[in-house]
Amino acid sequence: MQYVPFGKHGFDVSRLGFGCMRLPTVKDGDRDVIDREKAIGMIRHGIDEGITYVDTAYPYHGGESEIVVGLALKEGYRDKVTLTTKLPVWAVNEEKDMNRLLDEQLKKLDVPYVDFYLLHAMDKSRMDKMQAFHYKDFFKQAVKDGRVKHPGFSFHDDCDTFLRILHDYDDWGMAQIQFNYLDDEEQAGVKGLREAGKCGVPLVIMEPLRGGALANPPQNVKDLMEANPHKRSAVEWAFAYIADYPEVATILSGMSTPEQLDDNLRIFDKLTVGGMTEEDRAFAKELKKAYLSRMPVKCTGCQYCQPCPQNVHIPDIFHGYNQSKMFEQQGRFINNYRGQIERGFDASQCVQCGACEAACPQHLSIIDWLQTIDREYHEIVK
C-alpha cells in the first residue's frame, strides 16, 4: 500500500480508501440488507492489508452502513483508521438538527468522535442553507467538544460553486469530489482540484470508476487498452490517472466483493504520485475521446432549449441516451426514458414548434433526435 501525507494534518493516509456505500448485501424478505459478516470481514481485511481510511454516510444502505462500520471497527480497528461520515444536509431543518444528527451518527458508529465530518453532497442551494444555519459555528463547537477532529464537505455541482464553498471557510480539513479521467472537466474538475491544492485542502476522490462504468469499457475503449504496451486493466488505468495528482490524498472505492477488494489492494501497492508518464497522460486523453466519440447527440447540457413550451426535458433525455450509448447500458436508457414518460417530460410531448432548435448554440437537429430516441425506446420495450 502506498501512503501520502493527509494535507497538513500531520499523519499519512493510504491512497486506497474503503468506501462503505456498496457493501455486500443479502435479501431480507423484499429488502437488500448488508451481509454483515462478509462486510465486516472485508473492512477488517482491508485494514489488515494497509487501508487507513474508511468512509461512510448517514443514508448509505438505508442508514445501516454506519452501524456496520462501527461494528467492523471494534476490537482495536478504530485506532488504525481515519474515520469519516457526513451530515445529511437535506435533513437539517433548523440549527439544532446539526448537533442532533451528529450525536445520532456517533451513537450508530459507537464512537466518541469522527476524524472528519462532512457537509454531504453540497451544491449551491445547500450552501445557502448551511450559511443560513451558521454551519461554521456548529463545526467550531463540534471540534471544541471533541466530537469532530476536522470539518469538510463533499461536493456535486459546478466548479464555480466548488470554489465558492472552498473559499467560504478557512478551516476545511478536506474536500471530497467526484473525479476520474472522463469527468476531469465536470463538477469541481481539474481546476477545482488545483485550487484546493493551493489552499492546502487535501482531496478525497469519490466515483473514480464512475459507479463501476469505467471498469467495464465498451469495445472501442478495450481495443485501445489492449493495444497499449502497459497492458493495464481498465480499473488500473482509472486509478492510475487519479493517483498521479499530488493534490489527491485518498481514492475511495466502494467494494462489494472480496475479489474487488483484493484486486484494488494489488493495484494500490504500486500507484504513486507522479507515476504516469507524459505518454500515459496522453493515452488517458485518448481513452476519454474514445468514450465521448460514442455519444450520438453532441448536447453540452447548456439548457438554452429550456424551458420547452411542452415541458419536454430535452437535456435530460439526451443525457440519458448518451450515457447509455457511451457505456453500452441499454437498461439505463430504458429506465431513464420511462421516468420521463411517467412524468410527462418525454419526446412524445413535442409539437415540433422549433423553439429549441432556434435557441441551440450547437445547432442540433433536436426534433429529429427526439423522434429517434422516442422511436428507439418503443422498439425496445414493445
Q: What is the DSSP string of 275-339?
A: -S-HHHHHHHHHHHHHHHTT-SS------TT-S-TT---HHHHHHHHHHHHHTT-HHHHHHHHHH
Same structural domain for residues 330 and 229? no
Question: Considering its fold, how many domains does the chain have in total?
Answer: 2
Residue 168 sits at φ, ψ, to 5 deg, of -80, -20
In this structure, what C-alpha cell is assigned to residue 66? 454506519
Give the per-residue pLDDT at 303. 86
* Positive or negative torsion for Cα 265, 181, 319, 215: negative
- Boundary residue ending a domain (287, 304, 335): 287
> Which of 352, 366, 351, 348 lies closest to 300 in space, CA to CA?
366
In which domain, by residue range, is 88 found?
3-287
Give the per-residue pLDDT at 369. 96
Q: Cell 504520485 appears where?
A: 273
pLDDT digits (tens, 9 = 90+) for 168-178: 999 999 999 99
The CATH number of residue 106's host domain is 3.20.20.100
Give the per-residue pLDDT at 99. 98
pLDDT digits (tens, 9 = 90+) for 307-327: 999 999 999 999 999 889 988
Residue 108 lies in a domain: yes
- Boundary residue ending a domain (245, 272, 287): 287
- Boundary residue ending a domain (246, 270, 287): 287
Same structural domain for residues 211 and 279? yes
Q: How far apart are CA 202 and CA 323, in angstroms?
A: 30
Same structural domain for residues 156 and 214? yes
Give the per-residue pLDDT at 212. 84
Give the per-residue pLDDT at 30. 86
Q: How far apart are CA 326 and CA 309, in angstroms?
A: 29
Residue 298 lies in a domain: no
Give the per-residue pLDDT at 362. 85
Give the per-residue pLDDT at 346. 95
pLDDT digits (tens, 9 = 90+) for 120-129: 999 999 999 9
> Which of 60, 64, 49 lies closest to 22 in space, CA to CA?
60
Same structural domain for residues 143 and 265? yes
Residue ranges of the chain whose pLDDT lies below 50: none
Residue 369 lies in a domain: yes
Residue 178 lies in a domain: yes
Residue 293 lies in a domain: no
pLDDT digits (tens, 9 = 90+) for 276-288: 999 999 999 999 9
Residue 300 lies in a domain: no
Identify the bridge partners of residue 12 per DSSP, sorted by sequence position. 5
